[in-house]
């Protein structure tokens, strides 16, 4: 049975753009928008609702940011909540849910603290008339209170995790996010992360070639959610693949 799950219907890549705020590398964001329109790609954008990250504040500011976000949503792009203020307050010591380690905006904080951040972030989107169905934390770092707080605010999709296919755990849908580079696996459904603030010109050209080559395999968030609802295959594949992928990722 398992073999049948990993077929063409279960192959696709969601393009995830990280660290979208009023202060960012707008030169590349504008170029990206052009590419997405040309290749009919509907990405998922991780928008920070209340960006306080001093590093990002060094980038030029774009006026009418929320109007631009609303326009992206109108085009069918998925707006995701990427943390609340992108300020790291805690150190995980690899005790975070995915055992990635590093600093965190959420890990180790009380349910009330995490719930407040998530609630306040969602309120900003609501005020700006932007619909949010998913979340991913800065630096991939979560603990159980993060998931509890997300669920308390009716957000059950997290764009992060191991595996070749979306899976469910604690009532949360995890959409695996595997690689730092744009790599197309022959099978599986994952998202890729693209940090425009750190990307080099040369790599940006590679991105266009990648979109061109894999246009048919790039899927939007609605399609991903459709795959999640077929949770039978996901949970089977997750446990089989988790260990080997952790190893694979280490290289
Ligand atoms: Zn980030």
Q: What is the mean pLDDT of the chain?
A: 87
pLDDT over 70, % of the chain: 83
Q: Is residue 33 very low, low, confident or very high in pLDDT (cuts 50, 70, 90)? A: very high
Distance from residue 193's CA to the centre of ligand 1 (Å): 10
Question: CA-to-CA distance for 231 and 206, rounded, in angstroms?
Answer: 34
Per-residue model confidence as pLDDT tens digits over 117-161: 999 999 999 999 999 999 999 999 999 999 999 999 999 999 998
For strands 167-169 and 157-158, give the pairing: unpaired
pLDDT at site 244: 47
Interhelix angle 221-229/231-250, nearest 10 degrees: 110
CATH number given to 2-250: 3.20.20.370
Distance from residue 137's CA to the centre of ligand 1 (Å): 7
Distance from residue 246's CA to the centre of ligand 1 (Å): 21
3-class secondary structure, 232: helix
- φ and ψ of 220, to 5 deg: -100, 175
Per-residue model confidence as pLDDT tens digits over 156-199: 999 998 777 888 888 899 998 866 555 666 667 788 888 888 88
Distance from residue 74's CA to the centre of ligand 1 (Å): 24
Distance from residue 53's CA to the centre of ligand 1 (Å): 9
Distance from residue 195's CA to the centre of ligand 1 (Å): 8
- The three-point CA angle 104-16-6 to 5° equals 105
Distance from residue 222's CA to the centre of ligand 1 (Å): 23
Q: Could you tell me how many helices (H) and strands (E) the chain has, helices first?
A: 9, 9
Nearest to 173 by CA among 132, 224, 218, 137: 224
Give the pTM: 0.89
Distance from residue 101's CA to the centre of ligand 1 (Å): 15
Kindly tell me if the per-residue pLDDT of 239 is higher than 80: no
- φ and ψ of 65, to 5 deg: -55, -50
Query: How is 191-218 classified by DSSP, letter by letter?
Result: EEEE-TTT--HHHHHHHHHHHHHHGGGB
Kindly tell me if the per-residue pLDDT of 60 is higher than 60: yes
Distance from residue 136's CA to the centre of ligand 1 (Å): 9
Kindly tell me if the per-residue pLDDT of 213 is higher than 80: yes
Distance from residue 17's CA to the centre of ligand 1 (Å): 9
Distance from residue 83's CA to the centre of ligand 1 (Å): 8
Kindly tell me if the per-residue pLDDT of 12 is higher than 90: no
DSSP 106: S
Distance from residue 12's CA to the centre of ligand 1 (Å): 23
Q: Is residue 217 very low, low, confident or very high in pLDDT (cuts 50, 70, 90)? A: confident
Per-residue model confidence as pLDDT tens digits over 84-116: 999 999 999 999 999 989 999 999 999 999 999
Residue 204: burial class (beta carbons within 10 Å; 0-12, 13-18, 19+): middle
Identify the H or E element spanning 15: strand 11-20
Name every residue whose Cβ is closer than 8 Å to that of residue 247 and which is 6 or more positions away in sequence.
none
How many other CB atoms are there within 10 angstroms of residue 92's CB atom? 23
Distance from residue 107's CA to the centre of ligand 1 (Å): 15
Strand order in the sheet with 44-47: 78-81, 44-47, 11-20, 188-194
Distance from residue 87's CA to the centre of ligand 1 (Å): 9
How many other CB atoms are there within 10 angstroms of residue 151's CB atom? 14
């Amino acid at each position: 049975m398992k073999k049948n799950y990993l077929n063409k219907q279960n192959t696709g890549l969601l393009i995830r753009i990280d660290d979208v705020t009023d202060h960012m590398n707008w030169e590349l964001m504008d170029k990206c928008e052009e590419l997405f329109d040309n290749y009919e790609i509907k990405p998922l954008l991780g928008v920070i609702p209340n960006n306080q990250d001093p590093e990002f504040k060094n980038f030029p500011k774009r006026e009418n940011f929320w109007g631009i976000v609303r326009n992206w949503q109108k085009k069918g792009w998925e707006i995701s909540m990427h943390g609340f203020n992108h300020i790291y307050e805690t150190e995980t010591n690899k005790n975070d849910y995915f055992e990635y380690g590093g600093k965190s905006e959420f890990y180790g904080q009380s349910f009330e603290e995490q719930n407040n951040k998530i609630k306040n972030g969602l309120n900003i989107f609501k005020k700006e008339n932007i619909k949010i169905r998913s979340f991913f934390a800065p630096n991939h770092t979560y603990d159980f209170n993060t998931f509890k707080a997300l669920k308390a605010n009716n957000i059950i999709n997290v764009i992060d995790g191991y595996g070749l296919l979306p899976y469910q755990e604690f009532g949360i849908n995890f959409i695996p996010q595997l690689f730092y580079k744009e790599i197309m696996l022959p099978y599986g459904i994952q998202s890729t992360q693209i940090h425009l603030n750190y990307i080099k010109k040369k790599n940006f050209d590679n991105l266009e070639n990648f979109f061109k080559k894999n246009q048919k395999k790039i899927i939007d968030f609605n399609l991903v959610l459709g795959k999640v609802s077929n949770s039978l295959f996901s949970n089977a594949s997750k446990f089989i693949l988790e260990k080997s992928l952790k190893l694979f990722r280490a290289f």
